[in-house]
Amino acid sequence: MDKFIWAFLVGGTICVIGQILMDVFRLTPAHTMSALVVTGAILGGLGLYEPLAEFAGAGATVPISSFGNALVKGALAEAERNGIVGVLTGIFEITSAGVSSAIIFGFFASLIFKPKG
C-alpha cells in the first residue's frame, strides 16, 4: 500500500515541476516535456533514476521523464553486450512498447474519430 502513496506523491511532484516550468518560466508544453525528458536521461546516466523508480514505482515510471531514463538504460545495456554499436541499436529497446503503442493506437484513433469543433 505504501507504494501507492509514494506513486501519488512522487508522480504529483514531477507534474508540479512541469507546471512550474510552464507557468513561471513560460515554457510551452512541448518545451516542458522535452526538458523533463532530457532531465530524465541525465538522471538515468548518473544512476539516480533507478533508485527513484524502485522506491516510487509508477510515480517515477509513468511521467515522461522515465522515457529519457529508459532510452539511456536501453542504450547502455545493449552497449554492454555488443560494444559501442549497441548505443544505436539499443536506444529504443525499452521504450519500444510506449512509442509503438502510441503510434499504433494514435493511427487507429485517426481511423475511428473525427476532429471536433
Partner 1 sequence: MSSKKKKKLTPTQQKYQVFAKEREPKRPVVKNSIRAFIAGGLICTFGQGLQWMYIRYFNFTEKTAGDPTVATLIIISVLLTGLGVYDHIAQWAGAGTAVPVTGFANTIASASIEHRSEGYVLGVGGNMFKLAGSVIAFGVFSAFVVALIKITIKSLGGV
Residues that bind partner 1 (CB under 8 A): 3-4, 7-16, 18-24, 29-34, 36-38, 40-42, 44-45, 57-59, 61-68, 71-72, 75-76, 79, 84, 87, 91-92, 97-99, 101-103, 105-110, 112-116
Which one-letter DSSP state was computed for residue 113?
A: P
Task: Tell the smallest beta-carbon distance from residue 55 to partner 1 (Å).
Answer: 12
Closer residue to partner 1 in complex, CB, 29/51:
29
Find out whether 82 and 89 touch, Cβ atoms under 8 Å: yes
Residue 51 beta carbon to partner 1: minimum distance, rounded to whole angstroms? 14
State the nearest-atom distance from the C-beta of 5 to partner 1, in Å: 8
Of 20 and 51, nearer to partner 1 (C-beta) is 20
Minimal distance, residue 62 CB to partner 1, in Å: 4
Residue burial 78-95, b: 16+ Cβ < 10 Å; e: rest: bbeeeeeebeeebbbbbb
What is the rounded (10 degree) CA torsion for 63, 31, 17, 97? 0
- Residues with Cβ within 8 Å of residue 77, at least 6 apart in sequence: 86, 90, 93
